[in-house]
Amino acid sequence: MKYLLLYSLLTFFLFAEVNVGDKAPNFTLKTLDGKQIHTMQEFKGKVVLLNLWASWCKGCKKEMPEFITLQKQNTKDFKLVAVSLDDSKDKASHFLSTLKQKIPFTVLHDSKKHLAKAYSCSAMPSSYLIDKNGVIQQILIGSLNHNDIKVLQEKINALKKKEKR
């Protein structure tokens, strides 16, 4: 009986999915340059768009300029956090340099893909809209285009207006 309970718990944690309404899993990751460490906890009180991407992902490259604009238009109570799942920091840095724009959001690196596992990332890119209380409000699978960003902006605005609990 004891082994069955242990097996059930392990299975739950290995195959648990995050869903809308769940508390966003915490993380502790370094920036690409390795100079800073960030956690999900430090963004509490802000609306967060957590984006998981990789340099080999064509959809990631398409949506990155949209994310630059989104962050520039939302300087208050919003933070875009882009997490590279590349094995190499160099690949991720090169990818960002091809955009030829200054990146106005936080870029972190997770070569071990712990965050992808914690968030049950099923495809690249994947984004998670998280409210001020750290609760996942929307899961966006695949590349976002200009029209998707417009709709997302409306949701961000609504979440920014909601009171923090």
Are 90 and 64 in contact by the 8 Å Cβ rule? The answer is: no
The full DSSP string for 3-71 is: HHHHHHHHHHHHH----TTSBPPP-EEEETTSS-EEEGGGGTTSEEEEEEE-TT-HHHHHHHHHHHHHH
- Tell me whether residue 57 is one of the annotated catalytic residues: no
Identified catalytic residue from 40, 52, 54, 60 = 60
Q: Active-site positions?
A: 60
